[in-house]
Structure 1
Amino acid sequence: MMRKAVAVRREEIVVAALQKIRDRGIAGVRAADIAKALDISTALIFYHFGTLEALIIEAFRQATETALATLRDELARGGPADTRLHAVLTLYGPTNPGHNWQLWIEAQAAAMRDHELRAVLQRLDQRWRDAVVTLITEGVKTGVFRCEDPRGAAWRLTSLLDGLAVQVVAQTGSVTADDCARWVGQAVEKELK
């Protein structure tokens, strides 16, 4: 049997770890379960990552990079600030299946006790908020928006989405996609018009 390249094997382990986190939460992830899913030994997991905690941090680091690449792609599209802001808020929002809110909510809870994970998540969170601030500021400069405090508006809008995400993910059925779209649209209107 041919051995896989180190980078390929590490990526497989990270992907399997992320899936286990989605399925069971961080507290329910065991190296043995990841190894079983990949038909490898747990020793191979520890060889590549040292500890289960290091693997989890790496898994979230990679998930963060994927999310930030999606954000960069959206920002690079160009166009009017209001159109781009709407697209970014939709991407960030809880009804976008690509955003992985279940994963991020799980990570936020774990980050209260893990400073490395907290740093990874803060980087992601700050980058999204910075993008919203930039788009609002751009819209103010071009006359599309009226807003005296772009940073405050960005925090209020993304915080609304954060709260709605908890409702959508943890309280299934309590808030619909239409509710989210309507409430975010109303908040944007109040903040920026």
Structure 2
Amino acid sequence: MNDGIEAIKQIHAFGEYNALLVAIYVTALLTLGKVAINKLTEIWGIETKASLYKKAQEQRIESLEKAVKNLSKELDDREDNLYQKQKGYHEQSIQIRNDLKKNQEGLSNQISDLSQMMSSFIDTQNARTVASFRSSLWRMHKDFTNQGYVTPDGLKTFMEMGKLYEASGGNDVYHEKLLPEVESLEIHYPDGSIYSQKGGI
């Protein structure tokens, strides 16, 4: 306690202004001394505990920044890769749907074409069948009218062919001319015929 009082007395005796200047000089000298020491250690390459700690901290910060940067890049790459894959899958899905649609349309067109071809073929075959039956009926009609009679077998064949002619779509001259004229002919029963005059056909 007495030492403190003594110090205050001495400061008053020395002068408060002078004491302040001394304090400033001492602080400045300490600061300059520290800067000079740091400079000298840096020039001479002397590592202090503080510089080593600071260097280690800087290395850790640099490593963390690098790791964060690498992780960010990896995440961006994965996100971009995922987007590209999804985009590719989407485009493939669209392409597959378009191909299926084209194939279905092509198949539908082929079926339609085949159906038309079959219909045309059937019509052509029917027309040929009708023409063939008509020609045969006319030929038989001519033979019967030239000889002036018809046999039971001939009449039966003529009428069965007429039914097939009608079933194939022909019915114009058969009912109007051929059948009436053949039916109006006399029926001759050959010797040894299985048909009798009374029973007819």
TM > 0.5 between the two? Answer: no
More helix by share: 2
TM-score under structure 2 length normalisation: 0.20
Structure (1 or 2) with the larger CA radius of gyration: 2
TM-score under structure 1 length normalisation: 0.21
Question: Quick one: higher RCO (CA 8 Å, sep 6+), 1 or 2?
Answer: 1
